A = this chain, B = another copy of it.
Amino acid sequence: MTTATRSEFDQGIALTPHAAEPGRYDAELGAGWQIGGGVNGGLLLAVAGHALSLANGDHRDPFSITGHYLSASRPGPATVRTETVRRGRSLTTGTASLLQDGEERLRVLATFGDLDTLDAEVATSALPPVMPLPDECIGVEHAPPQLIEQAALLERFDLRLDPATVGWALGQPSGNGRIQGWFRLADGRQPDPLLLLLVADSLPPVTFDLGRPGWAPTVELTVHLRAKPAPGWLRVAHATRNLAGGYFEEDCEIWDETGRLVAQSRQLARAPRS
Contact = CB atoms under 8 A, between A and B. Distances in A.
A126 interface: yes
- Identical chains in the assembly: 2
A236 interface: no
A107 B93 CA distance: 9
A50 interface: no
B126 A242 contact: yes
Interface in A111-143: 111, 115, 118-126
Given A104-B86, A222-B266, A266-B222, A93 B119 contact: no
A31 interface: no
Contact of A85 (B107, B111, B220): B107
A111 B221 CA distance: 12
Interface of A: 63-64, 66, 68, 70-71, 85-86, 88, 91, 93, 95, 104, 107-111, 115, 118-126, 176-177, 210, 219-220, 222, 224, 226-227, 240-247, 249, 260-261, 264, 266, 268, 274
